[in-house]
């Protein structure tokens, strides 16, 4: 096992879990980063100082996880996705290939005087992705946006506004196109209730949490 000097958080089954975590030899993981049990960090991925990734995650080839980013458990981040500082990903989040979570709403390389900007010259914007949500391939999420639990961002969307729980958003700028089930399938609306055609789970926007009949 190659750990690149990063801390590996371990629980009571730490010895076994340590053996299952993996940082590929070409990955660059800061000694100031932390990864959880069983997390896999693949070729040429980079994790910066202060980044914390939970247990059971997959960071695919070429993923970038910036300073102080917080990632929960069982999160899957696909190839070349860019997760910038200010981002928080809850448990079970999926980030598709080439997606970008941005953190500078009004970007400039230089000050009005033409000097290169430093950390103190701009405000870090925050992207929050709640439990179980998915972000499609090549989507861009602007700073200040919160993506609700189990929501889905379609491929190539430009997300400029918050996305509600289970919401499906598409396009540029992304618009609400419907609702998706926890299983990932788009739901079908009938009399204000959205229902999954696969497993029957129901979702009432602005109502109580989604419920699968019989569960
Ligand atoms: C959004 C999504 C879940 C919809 O899936 P679906 O219900 O099977 O969609 P359909 O193919 O039936 O398309 C329904 C409509 O939405 C449009 N559409 C589908 N995906 C779209 C997208 N990402 N952006 C904009 N429009 C989209 C279709 O063109 C179609 O429009 P129409 O009714 O005018 O013909 C899916 O297309 C998607 O983007 N998934 C993410 C895939 C991804 O990025 N995976 C990452 C890991 S590889
Ligand atoms: Zn379902």
- pLDDT tens for 177-208 read 999 999 999 999 999 999 999 999 999 997 66
Which residues crowd ion ligand 2, with CB under 5 Å? 181, 183, 185, 196, 198-199, 201
Residue-range definition of the domain harbouring residue 204: 189-215
151's tokens:
């929501």
If asked whether residues 145 and 204 sit together in one domain, one would say no
Expressed in angstroms and rounded, the spacing between residue 205 Cα and the centre of ligand 2 is 16
Q: Of all protein residues, whose CA lies closest to atom 10 belonging to ligand 1?
A: 186
Among residues 167, 191, 171, 190, the alpha carbon closest in space to that of 179 is found at: 167
pLDDT of residue 15: 43
If asked whether residues 62 and 162 sit together in one domain, one would say yes
71's tokens:
């990632």
If asked whether residues 203 and 145 sit together in one domain, one would say no
If asked whether residues 91 and 145 sit together in one domain, one would say yes
Mutation test of ligand 1: which of 97, 136, 141 has the most ligand atoms closer than 8 Å to its C-beta?
136
Expressed in angstroms and rounded, the spacing between residue 123 Cα and the centre of ligand 1 is 34
Does the beta carbon of 156 lie inside 6 Å of ligand 1?
yes
Percent of the chain with pLDDT over 90: 85
The answer to whether position 112 is within a domain reads no
Expressed in angstroms and rounded, the spacing between residue 136 Cα and the centre of ligand 1 is 10
Expressed in angstroms and rounded, the spacing between residue 177 Cα and the centre of ligand 2 is 17
Question: How many domains is the chain built from?
Answer: 2
The answer to whether position 46 is within a domain reads yes
The answer to whether position 32 is within a domain reads yes
The answer to whether position 130 is within a domain reads yes
pTM for this one? Answer: 0.91
Does the beta carbon of 173 lie inside 6 Å of ligand 1?
no
Distances from the Cα of 110 to the Cαs of 7, 89, 143, 207, in angstroms? 35, 30, 20, 46
pLDDT of residue 212: 60
Give 126's contacts (C-beta < 8 A, 6+ positions apart). Answer: 86, 87, 88, 103, 143, 144
Question: Do residues 34 and 51 make contact, with C-beta atoms less than 8 angstroms apart?
Answer: yes
Express each pLDDT in 76-99 by its tens digit: 999 999 999 999 999 999 999 999
Q: What is the C-alpha to C-alpha distance for residues 61 and 115, in angstroms, rounded to an integer?
A: 35
pLDDT of residue 18: 45
């Amino acid at each position: 096992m190659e750990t690149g000097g990063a801390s590996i958080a371990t629980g009571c089954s730490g010895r076994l879990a340590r053996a299952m975590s993996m940082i590929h030899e070409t990955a660059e993981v800061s000694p100031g980063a932390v990864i959880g049990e069983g997390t896999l960090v693949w070729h040429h991925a980079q994790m910066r100082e202060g980044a914390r990734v939970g247990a059971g995650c997959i960071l695919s080839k070429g993923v970038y996880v910036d300073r102080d980013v917080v990632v929960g458990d069982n999160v899957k981040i696909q190839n070349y996705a860019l997760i910038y500082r200010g981002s928080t990903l809850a448990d079970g989040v999926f980030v598709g290939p080439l997606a970008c979570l941005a953190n500078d709403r009004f970007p400039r390389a230089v000050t009005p005087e033409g000097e290169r900007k430093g950390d103190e010259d701009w405000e870090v914007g925050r992207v929050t992705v709640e439990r179980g949500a998915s972000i499609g391939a090549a989507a861009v999420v602007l700073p200040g946006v919160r993506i609700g639990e189990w929501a889905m961002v379609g491929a190539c969307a430009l997300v400029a506004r918050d996305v509600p729980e289970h919401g499906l958003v598409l396009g540029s700028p992304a618009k609400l196109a419907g609702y998706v089930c926890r299983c990932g399938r788009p739901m079908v609306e009938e009399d204000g209730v959205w229902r999954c055609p696969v497993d029957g789970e129901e979702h009432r926007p602005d109502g109580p949490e989604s419920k699968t009949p019989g569960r």
